[in-house]
Amino acid sequence: MKLSLVQTSQNRHDELVRFVKSLNAQINIDFKEIQLIFIDQGNNESAFGQLNPNIELVYLRHELCSLSKARNLGLNYVKGDYVAFPDDDCWYEPNTLAEVFINFEHGYEGVVAKGMDENDNLTNNFPSKQCKLSKFNHCGAISYCIFLKQIPGLTFDEKLGVGSYLKLSSGEEVDFLLKTMDKIGVNMIYCPTIIVRHPSNSIGLFYNTIQKQYEYARGWGYLLYKHKFPMSIIIKSYARPIGGIVLYCLSLNFFRVKRSFYLLKGRLEGYFIAMKYGRG
């Protein structure tokens, strides 16, 4: 078994059907080397009715829980040498997994793909050229774009991620990535030719974009302290929203003032929450 995909969802049946179709459409791979572990927090079993029968499906029902808790449940069933965490609303290009496998065969222990929406817009700040990852440069790594060597016993921090009881709604994948680096080193690569699709404007379970960005900012602030990010990155993380508040006040763009304020507030709150819990 080569690659285990750990996925969860509450109520995105149609999006899951799209993902399954994209998985079935993969080219130049052996489907027997794919394992899909799905933690169903809703009623989505029928979405997998057309899954390629050569793909091993592990289907688990679970009560509503956080993203990180669901993924940790799924990690107990991983058989692959490598693991990935596709979102319920992402989908793959036909050659996505074949290109990931090529990089693993070249000796890399982690591969980061480029995220793009249905209109070819980037879904994060991805570099334009191929590059190696470092501990504090993850080349835009986001959960549905990360493919990593499986480390038995390594789990997600359940204080982080969507559904976090501390409202630290992002950073779980970066935390997992950094913990993987701590275990096996930084032999990882970003490849812009490998594409994973994802809607760019999805707010998921949040009420609006401001709430989502605020809770995501809390997660980032938490990571800054937990993983001892260098002072240059910490200063930049707070200087940018402060600058945004000033700039947008001058231009009377009060929506962006509000957005910058909540980014700053969230990052500060997350940082102090991490100080409370320590770096464990």
More confident residue, 270 or 207: 270
What's the confidence (pLDDT) of residue 206? Answer: 73
Q: Is the pLDDT of residue 202 over 80?
A: no
Q: How confident is the model at residue 208 (pLDDT cuts 50, 70, 90)?
A: confident
Q: Tell me which of 277 and 202 has the higher pLDDT.
A: 277
Q: Return the pLDDT at 84.
A: 98
- Say which residue the tokens 């709150």 belong to: 269
Is the confidence at residue 1, as pLDDT, over 90? no
Distance CA 218, CA 171 (A): 9
Q: How far apart are CA 92 and CA 100, in angstroms?
A: 11
User: Region 161-188: what's the mean pLDDT?
Assistant: 95
Average pLDDT over residues 47-64: 97
Contacts of 199 by beta carbon, 8 Å cutoff, 6+ apart: 89, 117, 118
Distance between start and end Cα atoms, the chain: 32
- List, in sequence order, the alpha helices (H) in 66-113: 67-75, 96-105
- Tell me, what's the pLDDT at 277? 86
Percentage of residues in the chain with pLDDT exceeding 90?
Answer: 94
Q: Is residue 156 within 8 Å of residue 172, measured between CB atoms? A: yes
pLDDT digits (tens, 9 = 90+) for 90-107: 999 999 999 999 999 999
Looking at residue 243, what is its pLDDT? Answer: 97
On average, the pLDDT of the chain sits at 95
pLDDT, residue 207, reads: 74
pTM for the model stands at: 0.93
Asked if 164 and 66 touch (Cβ cutoff 8 Å), the reply is yes
Looking at residue 205, its pLDDT comes to: 66
Rounded CA separation 18/226 (Å): 36
- Residue tagged 């109520």 (tokens): 11
pLDDT at 110 over 70: yes
For residue range 23-34, what is the model confidence (pLDDT) as tens digits?
999 999 999 999
Q: What region does 58 belong to: left with phi over 0, alpha with psi -120 to 50, or beta? A: beta
The whole-number average pLDDT for the span 144-151 is 98
Residue 70 has pLDDT above 70, yes or no: yes
Q: In the prediction, which pLDDT does 12 show?
A: 93
What value does the mean pLDDT take over residues 109-135?
96
